[in-house]
């Protein structure tokens, strides 16, 4: 370890020990690291926990690079300072929520007191709530901003702090960079206005739950089909998170009467005791729910992550075995259902649109074109889907949208991905398929026959700590300076660099401007239509490789054979990129 780095870290740690505002228990933890664990000391103090474009996310613990009430407090003070400048002379209101993670309530209440100490009115949920309900509450209560304390589907060691603006969406330019600047001006814990008591804090709960659930219910497109299939057995698990409060309630509100719980996972617990990772993208996180479905003869399995903004599902395939659908497949089924029902119900007037991210399946674009519906591609992050909705407000009608990472949205009264809403509409889509004598997998095959068999895979390469962050940046540098010329035998014909804002034809070297905001993303497009996107995660210590392929599917009977070919192709791509 470099002696100068260690010396700097020790100085930063000592500064904490000398800070009057920091409690004795935290100081004790810092002293223990200084005396017994230099590696942990470096990881905890080598930098300030970065307040990024979405807020904070990090491992909980003592230190400037950890999630604790002091890093949360400094972030909150910076946000307060920005709000007071932005809405000078006006009453400012914020809404606050948290999920089931450890310290969530503590961080939320600390933030609430700081807002109040700065003269800002606070609406605080009485207990844990889904992230999308926080988005709804901001709009419903006329707030200027909001915060949800969550680390989404990260491991139990993490927590986070996501900031929202007055439209109910996560912050984007210019507010994101402006808030970051204000947060960076807070250089000491002693600069935070640490409030005391609960004066100025209004507790909210059922008074927001009810209108939120009613707005979700109003999205239903097939009430008569649900009535016929009200006994459809649905296994639901919140994986120890907030979904337990509202997902079953929403399903019942829609008319589904046979909701089967996974009792051990209904317990809201930030240690997530029954899973290694509370992520519905991980097969292991769905295992208990699938087992319950087998025991009870259920047709559909639904799982939501800790803050109930992402949803994963499993359904019976043609062999009668439960199979997990990935985020692209679930999103495709949902959008296909919505487009069909909007058309059938006479709701397509020529001014409707859907939105997807640039790393989400191109199948959604193909469907939109087929139905004569406009579609938008946006950068990764649901805040950009929300921005597309905002830009078209009053001019065009948003049908739905989503991203490959298991997040979907319909309607415009929430401006973030919503697993409460999506769970109900996915169940409705399943009932719609059943009413035609089809399973969800039959429906998926029907989509692939009509538009082509799209197959995607996400590869996460984890690089932890300071050295890992540097390694990820070097990987992006290497891809830019020495990009692949062919991938799995197919020539790379176009490279899109979203950081530079240009797409380059590899034969003619002609450049086309990319009009989206700048972002550290590369896309390699091959002659056979394969798309490989490379992007460092903004919230986790990993670099992500999104692989998208496509082949024709003549009929449903060839489903497995074509799936195998696509899987082989993806394996070859991984091998070429040294991801295998």
Q: What is the CATH number of the domain that holds 356?
A: 3.40.120.10
Position 470 scores a pLDDT of 86
Give the bridge partners for 535, in sequence order: 544
Name the pLDDT band for 3 (thresholds 50, 70, 90).
confident
Report strand pairing: 397-403 vs 407-410.
antiparallel
User: What length is written for the chain?
Assistant: 580
Give the bridge partners for 316, in sequence order: 322
Q: Tell me the CB-side half-sphere exposure of residue 382, using CA atoms within 13 A.
A: 28
Of 204, 223, 248, which marks where a domain is finished? Answer: 204
Q: Name the more confident of 4 and 333.
A: 333
Of 154, 174, 204, which marks where a domain is finished? Answer: 204
Helix axes 175-185, 69-86, angle to 10 degrees: 120
In this predicted model, what pLDDT tens digit does every residue of 345-399 receive, in sequence order?
999 999 999 999 999 999 999 999 999 999 999 999 999 999 999 999 999 999 9
Position 440 scores a pLDDT of 95
Contact between 329 and 444 under an 8 Å Cβ cutoff? The reply is yes
Res 538 pLDDT > 80: no
In this predicted model, what pLDDT tens digit does every residue of 236-247 receive, in sequence order?
999 999 999 999
60: left (phi over 0), alpha (psi -120 to 50) or beta: beta
Position 464 scores a pLDDT of 80
Rounded to whole angstroms, the Cα distance separating 76 from 183 reads: 8
How many degrees, rounded to 5, is the angle at CA 415 between CA 262 and CA 73?
85
Position 293 scores a pLDDT of 98
Q: Tell me the CB-side half-sphere exposure of residue 48, using CA atoms within 13 A.
A: 19
152 among known catalytic residues? yes
Rounded to whole angstroms, the Cα distance separating 353 from 368 reads: 8
In this predicted model, what pLDDT tens digit does every residue of 85-142 receive, in sequence order?
999 999 999 999 999 999 999 999 999 999 999 999 999 999 999 999 999 999 999 9
Query: What are the respective helix, strand and coil percentages of the chain, to the nearest 5?
Result: 40, 20, 35
| Residue 305 and residue 403 share a domain | yes
**Mean pLDDT computed over every residue of the chain:** 95
| Residue 194 and residue 217 share a domain | no
Which of 199, 215, 245 has its CA nearest to residue 98? 245
| Residue 64 and residue 41 share a domain | no
Position 539 scores a pLDDT of 65
Q: End-to-end distance of the chain based on CA atoms, in angstroms?
A: 32
Sequence-ordered alpha helix ranges (H) in 149-196: 175-185
Rounded to whole angstroms, the Cα distance separating 337 from 345 reads: 12
Res 332 pLDDT > 60: yes
Of 124-133, 219-228, 233-242, 461-470, the one with minimum mean pLDDT is 461-470
| Residue 122 and residue 99 share a domain | yes
Q: Which helix (H) or strand (E) holds 14?
A: helix 3-17
The model carries a pTM of 0.94
Tell me the C-alpha to C-alpha distance, in Å, between residue 479 and each of 472, 476, 503.
11, 5, 15
Name the pLDDT band for 199 (thresholds 50, 70, 90).
confident
Res 1 pLDDT > 80: no
Helix axes 24-36, 3-17, angle to 10 degrees: 160
Number of domains the chain is built from: 4
Rounded to whole angstroms, the Cα distance separating 251 from 256 reads: 6
Sequence-ordered alpha helix ranges (H) in 345-464: 363-370, 382-391, 419-435, 440-451
Tell me the C-alpha to C-alpha distance, in Å, between residue 141 and each of 40, 51, 95, 166, 205.
43, 26, 8, 10, 12
Contact between 538 and 381 under an 8 Å Cβ cutoff? The reply is yes
| Residue 358 and residue 348 share a domain | yes
φ, ψ of residue 354 in degrees (nearest 5): -125, 165
Position 192 scores a pLDDT of 97
Sequence-ordered alpha helix ranges (H) in 345-381: 363-370
Which of 135, 110, 151 has its CA nearest to residue 21? 110
Share of the chain above pLDDT 70, in %: 99
In this predicted model, what pLDDT tens digit does every residue of 43-66 receive, in sequence order?
999 999 988 888 999 999 999 999
Contact between 16 and 30 under an 8 Å Cβ cutoff? The reply is yes
Q: What is the CATH number of the domain that holds 548?
A: 3.30.310
Gyration radius of the chain's alpha carbons? 24
Position 2 scores a pLDDT of 67
Domain containing 487 equals 453-576
| Residue 362 and residue 477 share a domain | no
Name the pLDDT band for 197 (thresholds 50, 70, 90).
confident
Position 467 scores a pLDDT of 79
Q: Tell me the CB-side half-sphere exposure of residue 318, using CA atoms within 13 A.
A: 10
The whole-number average pLDDT for the span 477-498 is 96
Name the pLDDT band for 4 (thresholds 50, 70, 90).
confident
Position 463 scores a pLDDT of 84
| Residue 558 and residue 432 share a domain | no
| Residue 234 and residue 182 share a domain | no
The whole-number average pLDDT for the span 228-243 is 98
Rounded to whole angstroms, the Cα distance separating 103 from 92 reads: 26
Position 580 scores a pLDDT of 66
> How many CB atoms sit inside 10 A of residue 456's CB?
22
125: left (phi over 0), alpha (psi -120 to 50) or beta: beta
- The answer to whether the Cα torsion of 283, 284, 288, 291 is positive or negative is positive
Q: Which helix (H) or strand (E) holds 30?
A: helix 24-36
φ, ψ of residue 63 in degrees (nearest 5): 130, 160
Report strand pairing: 502-505 vs 490-497.
antiparallel
Position 49 scores a pLDDT of 93
Contact partners, residue 420, CB within 8 Å, separation at least 6: 130, 132, 133, 212, 213, 216, 243, 246, 247, 250, 304, 308
The whole-number average pLDDT for the span 422-434 is 98
Q: Where are the beta strands (DSSP E) in 309-435?
A: 311-316, 322-325, 352-357, 374-378, 397-403, 407-410
Contact between 113 and 194 under an 8 Å Cβ cutoff? The reply is yes
> Considering 152, 250, 490, 519, which one is annotated as catalytic?
152
Rounded to whole angstroms, the Cα distance separating 284 from 321 reads: 16
The whole-number average pLDDT for the span 73-78 is 98
Of 140, 171, 204, which marks where a domain is finished? Answer: 204
Rounded to whole angstroms, the Cα distance separating 124 from 121 reads: 10
| Residue 440 and residue 353 share a domain | yes
| Residue 135 and residue 29 share a domain | no
Report strand pairing: 374-378 vs 352-357.
parallel
Which of 262, 309, 267 has its CA nearest to residue 287? 262
Position 52 scores a pLDDT of 85
Rounded to whole angstroms, the Cα distance separating 100 from 174 reads: 31
| Residue 341 and residue 271 share a domain | yes
Position 237 scores a pLDDT of 98
| Residue 234 and residue 168 share a domain | no
């Amino acid at each position: 370890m470099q002696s100068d780095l260690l010396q700097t870290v020790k100085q930063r740690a000592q500064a904490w020990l000398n800070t009057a505002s920091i409690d004795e228990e935290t100081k004790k933890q810092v002293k223990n690291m200084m005396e017994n664990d230099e590696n942990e000391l470096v990881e905890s103090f080598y930098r300030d926990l970065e307040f990024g474009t979405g807020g904070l996310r990090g491992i909980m613990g003592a230190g400037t690079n950890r999630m604790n009430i002091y890093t949360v407090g400094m972030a909150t003070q910076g946000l307060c300072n920005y709000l007071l400048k932005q809405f000078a002379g006006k009453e400012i209101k914020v809404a606050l929520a948290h999920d089931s993670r450890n310290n969530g309530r503590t961080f939320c209440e600390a933030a609430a007191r700081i807002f109040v100490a700065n003269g800002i009115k606070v609406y605080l949920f009485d207990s844990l709530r889904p992230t999308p309900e926080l988005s709804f509450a901001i709009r419903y209560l006329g707030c200027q901003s909001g915060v949800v304390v969550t680390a989404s589907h990260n491991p139990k060691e993490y927590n986070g702090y996501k900031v929202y603006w007055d439209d109910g969406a996560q912050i984007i330019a210019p507010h994101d960079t402006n808030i970051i600047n204000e947060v960076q001006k807070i250089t000491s814990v002693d600069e935070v206005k640490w409030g005391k008591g609960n004066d100025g804090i209004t507790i909210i709960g059922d008074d927001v739950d009810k209108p939120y659930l009613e707005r979700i219910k109003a999205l239903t497109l097939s009430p008569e089909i649900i009535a016929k299939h009200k006994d459809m057995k649905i296994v639901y698990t919140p994986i120890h998170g907030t979904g337990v409060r509202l997902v079953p309630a929403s399903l019942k509100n829609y008319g589904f009467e046979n909701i089967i719980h996974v009792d051990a996972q209904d317990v809201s617990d930030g240690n997530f005791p029954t899973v290694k990772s509370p992520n519905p993208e991980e097969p292991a996180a769905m295992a208990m729910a699938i087992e319950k479905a087998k025991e009870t003869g259920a047709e559909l399995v639904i799982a939501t992550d800790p803050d109930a903004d992402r949803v994963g599902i499993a359904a019976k395939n043609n062999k009668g075995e439960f199979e997990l659908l990935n985020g692209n497949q679930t999103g495709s089924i949902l959008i296909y259902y919505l487009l069909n029902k909007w058309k059938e119900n006479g709701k397509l007037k020529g001014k409707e649109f859907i939105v997807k991210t640039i790393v989400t399946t191109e199948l959604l674009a193909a469907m939109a074109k087929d139905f004569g519906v406009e579609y938008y591609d946006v950068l990764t992050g649901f805040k950009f889907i929300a921005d597309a909705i905002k830009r078209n407000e009053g001019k065009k009608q948003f049908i739905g949208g989503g991203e490959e990472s298991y997040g979907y949205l319909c309607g415009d009264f929430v401006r973030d991905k919503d697993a409460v809403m999506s769970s109900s509409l996915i169940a409705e889509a399943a009932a719609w398929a059943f009413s035609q004598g089809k399973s969800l997998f039959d429906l998926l095959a029907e989509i692939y026959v009509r538009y082509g068999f799209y197959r995607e895979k996400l590869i996460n390469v984890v690089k932890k700590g300071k050295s890992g962050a540097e390694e990820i940046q070097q990987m992006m540098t290497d891809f830019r300076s020495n990009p692949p010329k062919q991938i799995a035998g197919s020539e790379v014909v176009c490279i899109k660099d979203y950081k530079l804002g240009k797409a380059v034809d590899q034969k003619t070297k002609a450049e086309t401007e990319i009009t989206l905001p700048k972002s550290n993303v590369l896309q390699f497009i091959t002659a056979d239509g394969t798309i490989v996107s490379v992007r460092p995660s903004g919230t986790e210590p990993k670099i992500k490789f999104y692989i998208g392929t496509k082949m024709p599917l003549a009929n449903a009977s060839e489903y497995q054979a074509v799936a195998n070919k696509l899987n082989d192709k993806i394996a070859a791509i991984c091998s070429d990129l040294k991801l295998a």
